Structure formats: structure tokens, C-alpha cells
Amino acid sequence: MSDRVTTVRDLIRTADRRWAEQYHRCSSVPPGDPGYARAQETIATYRKLADLDKEAASAADVEAIIGNNSWSSCTCSECGKAVPAVRECGQPREYDSSTADICRACLAKALAEIDAALADPGRNA
């Protein structure tokens, strides 16, 4: 199993952990701080994500908690469609990396295009 393949279920299973990593500073915002109320909302969101039955929950369940689908949908960088799974291509993902998430259909199309180019005597003499 490749750790560069991500499925929607992977995103559902890891939403709480990823949320905690992204917003870990919220737990240190003290009462009286201007950001305290927002931090408490963020922590409450984490608790809702943590309480989800990750094997039964749907992407829509995660979306309902967070308020958008960016934490529970796989979107192909090539065709732009929401898909069940993507394969990370290019540089391993990090800040400012050149990384693309490509769906099965687009990968198959890319392979067919490479095969066609290699089979073309005009392009592969």
C-alpha cells in the first residue's frame, strides 16, 4: 500500500488528527485573550471530529462539522473533479512543494498518452 495514495476514507479517519496538528496552538490561548472564543470553537470542532465513528461516518459528516468539504474530499489536480482517491505525484508534499494529486482516470489517460507517443515511429525513432 502506497502512502502516497489518499482515499476519502483516509481523510475521514485522519480528520481529527490533522485538525489537531493544524490548530494545536488553540489549547494554549488563555481566557481573556481576544482569540479565546474562536480557539474554544476550534477545540469543540476537534472533539466532534474525534467522536465520529470513523468507519461509519461519511465525508458529508466531516463537512457538516467543519463547514466545508476541504478536509474530507479528494480533488484531482489534473481534472479538478472530486474523486474517491488520488495519487500524490511530483515532490513529496511540504510547504511550497511542486506536488499534484492525480485521479485514476487521469493517470490512465497519461499512461495511454505515453504509450501512444512511444508507439509513434515519428516520435520514437
Contact 29, 41 (CB under 8 A): no
Q: Which of 81, 62, 80 is nearest to 14 (CA)?
A: 62
Stretch near Zn ion under the rule CB under 5 A, chosen from 4-12, 24-32, 55-63, 79-87: 79-87
Smallest separation, CB 18 to Zn ion (Å): 23
Q: Is 106 in the site for Zn ion (CB under 5 A)?
A: yes
Q: Is 6 in the site for Zn ion (CB under 5 A)?
A: no
Phi, psi (degrees; rounded to nearest 5) at 86: -135, 155
Smallest separation, CB 12 to Zn ion (Å): 21
Contact 79, 100 (CB under 8 A): no
Q: How far apart are CA 121 and CA 125, in angstroms?
A: 5
Q: Is 78 in the site for Zn ion (CB under 5 A)?
A: yes
Strand partners, 87: 5, 102
Number of chain positions touching Zn ion (CB under 5 A):
5
Which C-beta is closer to Zn ion: that of 40 or that of 73? 73
Residues in the chain: 125
Stretch near Zn ion under the rule CB under 5 A, chosen from 9-17, 32-40, 96-104, 112-120: 96-104
Contact set with Zn ion (CB under 5 A): 76, 78-79, 103, 106
